[in-house]
């Protein structure tokens, strides 16, 4: 009887959706077909139930092929776990042909397929088999009902399923509607305004200007200027650096602010930025600046969102976000100028900061307390390691900074003595020490020694434009215009915005 099968279809759907946590993917009440999905035990279980009488194997094969093709065309909905497809047919009579072996039909599709045919004679056993296969508690029996009662119950079941589905859709929409991106726009404006201020004050690529206006500078931080861990988040070195970071901030920031709301967003941005700055302090002794650490913190906040909303995460941004993070990390490993410490620190700090601020309506005080403790402990450990120079060669770098200051003060012989001692164990800073000594040699009239040091510098650090420029000056003084022009050209190529480099190169070619 038609009503019997239709009632069983919607009773199962009602139980799976309202009691077992399945999501409705598609529902056609006229055709008697429902698609459901649930991520369960690290697998995406997709259930297709259809009220349909199938008698012949050829008819079955055609229907399964169409169904599996539809599933494969929409596999982006089920990323993040292996897909198991359950095809359930509900009919009055059993099929004429054998139906249990479907390997010849499903073998060409890379999806595990389970087949159930529920007819009036095996309906209870087949349904129990399906529930048992998924490890679910069987649905409760509804008691004896006559055909009229079942027919009346069908539209009620459908309405409740639809209402539940609409509530779930509304909850998903609310996840992305917790705030408008006002703070993101404000951050964009502040970063651009400070970049223009740097350009006006002496240039955003000028190291002295960067240090004066708050870039991360380890010696100054160790002297008590801890505010640089915050101010460096809002400064950028060159127009390309600014544009890349602002583009990322616009796209990632608006998404995070809509998910977390403006106040949580501010907390995540600042905590992640500081965490990234401290990681840079621990790992990178160079002068650095930029919003990259905070922006990577926003990536971390999206990953935290994905932990608690795995299905929605992979349906929307998941794999694309993971690809972008991986690409940026790989890019940073091959480009030496990129501050990988700030990036990785920001990513980790953003994840922890998201656990501290938590998602709207998420109430896990224990998790928040643990996250605060982890954040504080990690921050303290990084400060200690950075202060001791465990990973950043801090002692040698301090010698680089000191001898640079002595050169500016005209203490050239002391520079020569100190750099010569430091070069016995130069760590990562052999090129910088040699460069400082070459300048002192040049000022002391030891041009042959200066030339020797500078040639070694460009071998060790061919990207150091100042070394090429000084070699060009030295060769020009010696009358070797060809070598002077070659190094002047390289210096101008490495720093296109430096007018001194370009002017000197042009003079040599006149």
Catalytic, 343? Answer yes
Compute the C-alpha angle 297/303/304, nearest 5°.
90
* 218 token code pair: 């380890």
d(CA 17, CA 10): 10
The interaxial angle of helices 430-443 and 465-478, nearest 10 deg, is 30
Active-site residue (options: 8, 241, 343, 487): 343
d(CA 24, CA 22): 7
Task: Output Rg (C-alpha) for the chain, integer angstroms.
Answer: 33
Active-site residue (options: 292, 357, 371, 438): 292
Residues 6+ apart with CB under 8 A from 425: 396
d(CA 175, CA 311): 13
Catalytic, 292? Answer yes
Write the DSSP assignment of 310-370 as a string of letters: HHHHHHHTHHHHHHHHHHHHHHHHH-TTS-HHHHHHHHHHHHHHHHHH--TT---HHHHHH
- Which among 432, 441, 426, 427 is positioned nearest to 401, based on CA atoms? 432
Start-end of H helices in 177-317:
182-201, 207-212, 218-222, 228-231, 239-260, 262-283, 292-308, 310-316
The residues carrying an active-site annotation are: 292, 343
């Amino acid at each position: 009887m038609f009503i019997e099968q239709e009632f069983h279809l919607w009773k199962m759907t009602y139980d799976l959706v309202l009691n077992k946590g399945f999501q409705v993917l598609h529902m056609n009440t006229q055709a008697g077909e429902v698609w459901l999905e649930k991520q369960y035990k690290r697998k995406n279980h997709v259930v297709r139930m259809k009220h349909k009488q199938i008698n012949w194997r050829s008819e079955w094969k055609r229907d399964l092929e169409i169904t599996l093709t539809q599933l494969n065309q929409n596999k982006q909905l089920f990323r993040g776990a292996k897909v198991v497809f359950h095809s359930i047919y509900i009919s009055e009579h059993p099929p004429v042909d054998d139906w249990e072996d479907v390997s010849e039909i499903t073998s060409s599709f890379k999806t595990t397929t389970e087949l159930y045919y529920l007819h009036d004679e095996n309906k209870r056993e087949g349904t129990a088999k399906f529930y048992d296969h998924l490890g679910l508690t069987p649905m409760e029996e509804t008691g004896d009902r006559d055909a009229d009662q079942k027919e009346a119950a069908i539209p009620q079941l459908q309405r409740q399923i639809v209402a539940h589905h609409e509530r779930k859709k509304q909850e998903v929409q609310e996840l992305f509607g917790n705030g408008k991106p006002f703070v993101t726009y404000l951050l964009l404006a502040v970063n651009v305004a400070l970049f223009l201020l740097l350009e006006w004050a002496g240039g955003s690529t000028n190291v002295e200007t960067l240090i004066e206006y708050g870039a991360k500078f380890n010696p100054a931080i160790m002297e008590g200027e801890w505010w640089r861990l915050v101010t460096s988040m809002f400064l950028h070195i060159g127009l390309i650096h600014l544009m890349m970071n602002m583009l990322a901030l616009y796209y990632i920031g608006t998404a995070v602010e809509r998910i977390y709301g403006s106040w949580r967003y501010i907390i995540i941005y600042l905590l992640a930025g500081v965490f990234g700055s401290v990681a840079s302090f621990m790992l990178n002794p160079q002068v650095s600046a930029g919003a990259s650490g905070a922006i990577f913190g926003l990536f971390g906040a999206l990953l935290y969102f994905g932990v608690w909303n795995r299905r929605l995460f992979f349906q929307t941004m998941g794999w694309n976000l993971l690809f972008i993070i991986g690409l940026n990390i790989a890019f940073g490993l091959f480009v030496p100028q990129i501050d990988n410490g700030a990036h990785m620190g920001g990513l980790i700090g953003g994840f922890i900061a998201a656990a501290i601020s938590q998602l709207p309506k998420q109430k896990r005080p224990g998790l928040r307390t643990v996250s605060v403790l982890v954040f504080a402990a990690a921050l303290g450990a990084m400060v200690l390691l950075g202060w001791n120079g465990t990973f950043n060669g801090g002692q040698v770098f301090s010698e680089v900074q000191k001898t640079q200051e002595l050169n500016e003060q005209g203490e050239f012989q002391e520079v020569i003595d100190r750099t010569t001692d430091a070069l016995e164990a130069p760590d990562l800073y052999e090129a910088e020490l040699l460069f400082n000594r070459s300048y002192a040699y040049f000022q002391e009239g030891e041009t042959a020694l200066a030339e020797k040091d500078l040639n070694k510098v460009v071998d060790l650090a061919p990207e150091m434009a100042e070394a090429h420029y000084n070699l060009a000056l030295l060769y020009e003084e010696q009358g070797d215009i060809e070598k002077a022009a070659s190094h002047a050209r390289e210096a101008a190529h490495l720093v296109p915005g430096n007018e001194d480099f370009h002017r000197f190169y042009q003079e040599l070619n006149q």
